[in-house]
Every structure is written in structure tokens, then in C-alpha cells.
Structure 1
């Protein structure tokens, strides 16, 4: 049983209930629950919709190891950074240690409604990866 299915059943929701609450299509939910599609490769916004509808952390829906969670976390980081830039709120994180500052980690966690901030080292690694992908 997938973690998504476990969480849905724990909340006593049918798949249709989850579709209505999250706005994610039934087909997608079925594929994630059956393992036909990997939830770890889901779009960050899909994970946010599902976790919000289930009142849980995004991490609660992800399968397996931290290594497999890294691409999801990076995708979330990229969306957060691009949103900051679009809204003129980018504080010049590239090439600085600001990305590891508590306020940046807190903002990232709040943006995605995460239960806890990521570590200083994780934030720096995400920034390095983001910077490398922007070149």
C-alpha cells in the first residue's frame, strides 16, 4: 500500500473525497496509489494539493529514502526561488550564505507548509544545484 493510500485511508476519505478536496484528478491519484506512477516524481504543486487535502506533511506522502526525496525537494526549492524572483523578493541568495540563514529556511518551509525547516546544509546544497541549473 502506498503512503498516499495509507494517509487517505487514515483520514477515512474515499478516492472521490480526495479528488474533491485536492483538485487532483482521480486518474493521477489512482496511478500514485497503485504505484503505476512514482509520487516522488510528482509536481510540487500536486504534492502540496494532496498534503493540504490530507492535512499532512508532503514528506508523509513520499516513498522510500532521502535520496529519492532530493529531486522533489529541489523542484520545490526551484519553484520557491522563481516565485521570489517574480515577486521582486529575491534577496540575492545566489553566491551568498544567505540561503542557509534561518529566515530563508523558515520562508521556504512556510511557503510549502512544511512541518519543519530544512537544515542549513540542505539549503546550501539546493542553492548550489539551483545555481548550476540556471547556467
Structure 2
């Protein structure tokens, strides 16, 4: 018995007489068939049967709920970028300071935190309208 991994799919080969090349080819074929049906696999078990290789795929549970649309993925990326820009995590960054590199203006205090909070709320409100 040995194990392989293709992408994020675990493959268990229960018979040592099955070559790695055979197991890999059978697993890739199973993965392609599952993708053609819109399924996502988490595990494939390969055994030696009477007529050849027996392939037992296991579909990833709950994957449909955890999958995102392209728009949701982009919105999540925008949310991360906004958080990084508006709430810097650097050790030497001043959290109550905003500097505009174009004009050289600088703001401090509550005006900065109020503006940040307002912008984040506006983005979240807008993002919730995107389907």
C-alpha cells in the first residue's frame, strides 16, 4: 500500500503490484471524469479488481457551499486590499495618521478613524448589492 497526492486530492493505492504510472493515469482519468460532471474530489482509492483497476472516488463534502463565484472572489480581494490600505499593520505605522502623497496633506486623530469607518461601511454596503 502506498499513497500519492495529485493537486489537493489524496490517492490511496492498496496493492503494491499497481505501478505508480498506472495509479497516476487512473487517478487523473477519474479526476477528469469528476470535473466533467462538476464534482470536486477529495480522495481516490485504487485497488486491483478482477477485470483491472477498481477506482473508488470520494467527492469533497460541502464543496458547493464553500465555492465562490468570480465576482465574490474579486470582492473578497477588494475587501482585503481596503483593509490593508486603511488599517496598516506595520510596526512603524501610525494608526491615527493619513498622508496624501499627491498633495502632501496630512490628517490625524478622529477625522482619520471616522473617515476609515465610513468608507469601510460604504464598501460593505455596496458589496452586498453585487450578486
Rg larger for: 2
Q: TM-score, normalised by structure 1?
A: 0.24
* Structure ranking higher in helix proportion: 1
Which structure is richer in relative contact order (CA contacts within 8 A, separation 6 or more)?
Answer: 1
Q: TM-score, normalised by structure 2?
A: 0.24
* Structure ranking higher in strand proportion: 2
